[in-house]
Structure 1
Amino acid sequence: MHPIHIATAGWSVSSRWAGAVPGPGTHLERYGRVLPAVEIDSSFYRPHRPATYARWAESVPPGFRFAVKLPRTVTHERRLNDADEPLDRFLGEVTHLGDRLGPLLVQLPPSLRFDAAVVDAFFGRLRRVFMGELVCEPRHASWFADGPEALLADHAVARVAADPQPAEGAGEPGGWAGLAYLRLHGSPVMYRSDYPPDALRAMAERLLAEARERPVWCVFDNTADGHALGNALALRDLVAAVADTG
């Protein structure tokens, strides 16, 4: 069985979940005691100093992993073109997570159509300087076809399985088959909906099935109304329970 990394987008601990995430310590230190991973989304909006990443790495136990989203300068403003300078700056910062660094997440704008030349050049350049895990979350329908899937696989880039799916086929993992990365944004209302118990149990069974073949990440991004942490903790317990009875 491969590792299952259950996480949320960010590590804020609201008063609603304080009892389930005991102190003392910072929110990250407390979070790191109950979940094995987290996704840093703030890196999309602003850079963080190398010392900040190093401090975060020191705040969590061995085996904990950070997934980190690429800056919007790279993905949304430059749209993968001529992005060497902001990409190199980001890598110079994020690598200070050391052995706590997990996948880098390349989330693309919904308007960004697949362009084989652009995608091949971008991931080729990124792969020359970063050999760790890469995941891509495209949201334009043109990405969900054999050609894009093959090109992502050629660069060892796993494609995100998203809920709700932005296009047909986007709800299942794709690209490189060595990693499954699920992002649960909340359904039916993105970023707000709570996942009910039956959906979480089905997800637990899905993660365990995936983990027979490859490492798995499952990130709850339904943070707007504070459901992400509760869903992640419930899923953690369900995975353990299903594994014990399976």
Structure 2
Amino acid sequence: MSRARTPPRIASAGWAIPAAQRARFGAGDSVLARYASLLDAVEINSSFYRPHRRQTYARWAAAVPASFRFSVKLPRAITHEARLRRCGPLLDEFLEQCGGLGRKLGVLLLQLPPSLALDARSAAPFLARLRDRWDGDVACEPRHGSWFTPRAEALLLRHRIARVAADPAAHAGGDLPGGDPALAYRRWHGAPRMYYSDYGEAALQALAAALRADAARHRRSWIVFDNTAHGHAVANALRLQAVLRD
């Protein structure tokens, strides 16, 4: 996998295109193909709730340009039910499935439940197993305060795992990238109301400045808008794209 420095990837969580934005996108044989006419990345969250066949991932990969990349969220069976313990077969199954994306698989997203405190006895073996099977980028979004400590930072660095910079941040420092310095992965969920709130011009200008700073510090950076409930994610992604071009 290439480790060259690349421009920030701007993505939505999912590729649904709200009616108000459809005229801005190009033609395509599917919604995903139309989405990929303007944006160069997407985050797949549905994999958290249910498995997808390898052939489904391969079909998605075939619908987008060669430069397009997918981020894929690990299943809740691993993160929320098994809580990273004794889940090797589940991890292997997931990686076999999303491997259908081929070179277009850009990032694996590991979102942890708010109740999952750092326990190196379970986290370290899991991350080591993940790293044995996947050498590409991994972003972890922890939501328990114990993950925002020097001990947690050392664990993430050891396994080359980036810590997500989230908005709104669950804990002090949670709005800044951490862990693996090769990757900055930002997830903006909507604020003040998560998943619903639109981001205004001032917020997007500030985000653009942060992404420019990321480009100087990290080889790769992503921003994913997860404020999809009222369809703001795509509009925010397109506006940010325009701001970064100015």
Report the TM-score, using the length of structure 2 for normalisation.
0.96
Matched, 1:55 2:55: no
Q: Distance in 2 between matches of 1:153 and 1:105?
A: 16
Give the structure 1 partner of residue 223 of structure 2: 218
Asked if 2 retains the 8 angstrom alpha-carbon contact of 1:210 and 1:216, the reply is yes
Matched, 1:115 2:119: yes
What SS does the aligned partner of 2:217 have?
coil
Letter in 2 for 1:10: G
RMSD: 0.9
Give the structure 2 partner of residue 5 of structure 1: 9
Decide which of 90, 93, 96 is 2:97's aligned counterpart.
93
Deviation string 1:136-190 (CA, Å, 9 cap, x unpaired) is 0000011100000111010000000000001111111111111000000000000
What SS does the aligned partner of 1:182 have?
strand
Cα deviation, residue 22, structure 1? 2.9
Asked if 2 retains the 8 angstrom alpha-carbon contact of 1:152 and 1:175, the reply is yes
What SS does the aligned partner of 1:68 have?
strand
Report the TM-score, using the length of structure 1 for normalisation.
0.96
Give the structure 1 partner of residue 240 of structure 2: 235
- In structure 2, stretches of 5+ residues that fail to align are none
**Aligned counterparts, 1:93-172, within 5 A:** 93-172=97-176
Q: Distance in 2 between matches of 1:209 and 1:217?
A: 13
Give the structure 2 partner of residue 244 of structure 1: none
Deviation string 1:27-66 (CA, Å, 9 cap, x unpaired) is 1000001001000000000000111000000000011000
Asked if 2 retains the 8 angstrom alpha-carbon contact of 1:137 and 1:159, the reply is yes
Letter in 2 for 1:46: R
Q: Which runs of 4+ in 1 moved over 2 A?
A: 22-25
Gap change, CA 1:118 and 1:51, over 3 Å in 2: same
Give the share of equivalent positions with the same residue, in percent.
Answer: 51
Asked if 2 retains the 8 angstrom alpha-carbon contact of 1:2 and 1:212, the reply is no
Cα deviation, residue 221, structure 1? 0.1
Letter in 1 for 2:131: R
Asked if 2 retains the 8 angstrom alpha-carbon contact of 1:111 and 1:139, the reply is yes
Q: Distance in 2 between matches of 1:22 and 1:3?
A: 22
- In structure 1, stretches of 5+ residues that fail to align are 242-246
